Amino acid sequence: MTEGAAEETLKLLEESARRIVADAHPFETHRMRAAAEHPDCLPTWKALAENGLLGATVAEDLGGAGLPSRASALVAQALALNLAPDPYVESMVVAAWLLEHGLHPNQAAKWLGPIVEGASMAGFAHGEDYHPDGPENILASAELRGDTWYVSGRKTGVRAGGDCDWFVVSARIVEEDAIGLFLVEAEDESVQRSSFRTFDGAVLADVTFTESPAVHRLFQDEEVWRWLQRVQNRADAILGSQAVVLMEKLLTDTVDYLKTRKQFGVEIGQFQALQHRASDMFVAVEEAKAMASLAVDALDEERDVSDPLFPATRICIAETAMKVAHDAIQLHGGMGVSDELFISHGAKRLKAIAHAFGDETFHERRHGDGLLAELEGAA
């Protein structure tokens, strides 16, 4: 594909993703989620699959469209902008990608086909109360008996975990003193799931595995922690792009409000105190946009797994996203905290993004570790 044609493809993909997700999960439906007894966790999944969007970045010979990572960012942005709860980042950007790269090529086609079609979904079962800092935080264990690996342990906060058909599970292999990744069937009777809801309208599950048989071990003899670092980087970039579209929307809505809401006989945008706040929001959006864009493009470059760009993107996003979210609320006055406008919902989604795959403190430390290594290396 020429560069021009690729750009055109991505533009069309962005338009169709936004249209499809907006149709499948309109704002009024989202507003009703909190009151719903059993909110649908996958309102857009089927439509995404039918339109070839789930597999946008999956290799063509595995049933996908083989597009660059930017395509993933665009699909993820469509979901965020419409507040859709579907686990695209966890299940496609991370779990499906691990299957794509960690299974034997013959096997990969067999597994990715149904996933891309939306007939089957894999979740990422990795955290154990906290997002793991390093291999030492993985206490779930895997044991080989005969030809089968058995996984035991508790994984927490698996997005849409109640709806998954399979789990990609990280577990410690005691004999090898290494971390492995295993594919386990969710419906197996040894797997227990307990779901809880989140303030951004998602449903997460704590999943307990008790000697649960794995159908595959991914990346056989490779160092799995490095692959886990790579998916961390993928999640960082894609979550960052999700934050950016929400920030842009909150900024636009706030600017519109400043121009129309009147108090003291004038549009509130006439107050210099608010003009400066809006300017600072704009600056924040510019920074976030630039960083997230770099991070997404970097996914398709040969980057070191510990490249500081990724944690830096997350630090930047955590700071700017919460600034924009909180200011958007504040500048709307009471309307900012009502459930009637997009503002409060967008702000909650931003907070959830800021906590997914590690919070600000986590990424600062991660970035700092790299910095320290650099300084010590230079000494």
Partner 1 sequence: MYFRESKEDAAFRAEIREFVASELPRDIKEKVAHGVYLIKEDYVTWQKILHKQGWFAVGWPKEYGGAEWDVKRQLMLYQECALADAPPIIPYGVKMIGPIIYTFGSDAHRKEHLNDILESNVWWAQGYSEAGAGSDLSALRTSAVLDGDEYVINGTKMWTTEAQWADKLHCLVRTSSDGRQQEGITYVVIDMDARGLSVTPIITIDDVHHTNQIFLEDVRIPVSNVIGEVGKGWSYARFLLGNERAFIAETGSKISLLNKIKDKASDVFNSGGRARDKDALIRELSRLETRLASLCAVEKGYVEKWIADGGSPGPESAVLKIRGTEILQDMAEFSLKLFGDRATAYELAAIKGLGQNETESACATRFGYQYLYGRCWSIFGGTNEIQREIIAKQLLGLVFK
Does 336 bind partner 1 (CB under 8 A)? Our answer is yes
Does 134 bind ligand FAD (CB under 6 A)? Our answer is no
Q: How near is the Cβ of 315 to partner 1 at its closest, in Å?
A: 12
Residue 224 vs 329, nearer CB to partner 1: 329
Instruction: Kindly write out the interface string for residues 304-323 of this chain, putting x where it contacts partner 1 by CB under 8 A and - elsewhere.
Output: ------------------x-
Question: Which of partner 1, ligand FAD, none does residue 156 bind (CB under 5 to 8 Å by kind)?
Answer: partner 1
Distances (CA, A) of 164 to 46, 47, 196, 203, 317: 14, 17, 15, 12, 29
CA 322, 298, 168, 130 dihedral sign is negative
Structure tokens at 172: 């410690």
Question: Looking at 333, 371, 372, 374, which residue binds partner 1 (CB under 8 A)?
Answer: 333
Residue 136 vs 264, nearer CB to ligand FAD: 264
User: What is the residue type of 136?
Assistant: E
Site for ligand FAD, residues 334 to 353, rule: CB under 6 A: 334, 337
Distance CA 192, CA 355 (A): 25
Following DSSP, what letter does each residue of 297-315 receive, concatenated?
HHTTS---TT-THHHHHHH
Q: How near is the Cβ of 327 to partner 1 at its closest, in Å?
A: 11
HSE (side-chain half, CA atoms, 13 Å) at 337: 4
Distance CA 302, CA 193 (A): 38
Question: Which of partner 1, ligand FAD, none does residue 40 bind (CB under 5 to 8 Å by kind)?
Answer: none
Site for ligand FAD, residues 244 to 263, rule: CB under 6 A: 261, 263
User: What is the residue type of 134?
Assistant: G
Structure tokens at 295: 């991070």
Phi and psi for 84 in degrees, rounded to 5? -65, 140
Does 4 bind ligand FAD (CB under 6 A)? Our answer is no
Non-local CB neighbours of 334 within 8 Å, separated by 6+ positions:
none
User: What is the residue type of 271?
Assistant: F
**Contact positions toward partner 1, by CB under 8 A?**
34-35, 127, 129-131, 133-134, 156-157, 196-200, 202, 204, 262-265, 271, 273-274, 322, 326, 329-330, 333-334, 336-340, 344, 347-348, 351-352, 355, 359-362, 364-365
**Contact positions toward ligand FAD, by CB under 6 A?**
261, 263-264, 268, 271, 273-274, 330-331, 333-334, 337
